[in-house]
Homo-oligomer: A and B are copies of this chain.
């Protein structure tokens, strides 16, 4: 059995509304728990950036399923690597809305790991995306402590 982390980005459907977002969150939390998948999903500026961690077959099945979801398009895998420890083990799926509360701290985190002050994961390298998500997770952990 191989444990992997897959990171991808995609374009959200333009008319996506808050309600859709809640639905995704609810589904993800439930089905991922069953499949022992953990991860984080950032949404902002019409793009998604998601990390999926878990057993290789399960992560691939989920990813190929998500990729056909009409609520987004242009899925682009940024990195897939075998891991022996997960980065987001405590969350079935941590969802971070990057649209609201675009504080200075958040802008700095974005700039630190990309070429832009806007959330634009399609222009991040796999390494940047991975470091960015780890730092976002660290911020979220601070908030909930």
Residues of A within 8 A of B (CB): 1-4, 6, 33, 36, 38, 54-58, 60, 63-64, 67, 75-82, 84-86, 89-90, 104, 108-109, 111-118, 123-128, 131
Contact = CB atoms under 8 A, between A and B. Distances in A.
A interface secondary structure, majority: mixed
B64 A86 contact: no
Contacts of A79: 80-82
Contact of A81 (B81, B114, B128): B81
Q: How many identical subunits does the complex contain?
A: 10
A112 B85 contact: yes
A109 B125 CA distance: 23
Nearest to A109: B89
A55 B111 contact: no
B76 A60 contact: yes
Contacts of A63: 77
Given A77-B77, A82-B127, A84-B128, A55 B3 contact: no
A117 B32 CA distance: 11
Contact of A111 (B1, B38, B58): B38
A115 B3 contact: yes
Contact of A54 (B64, B67, B115): B115
A1 B115 contact: yes
B82 A126 contact: yes
Contacts of A126: 2, 4, 80-82
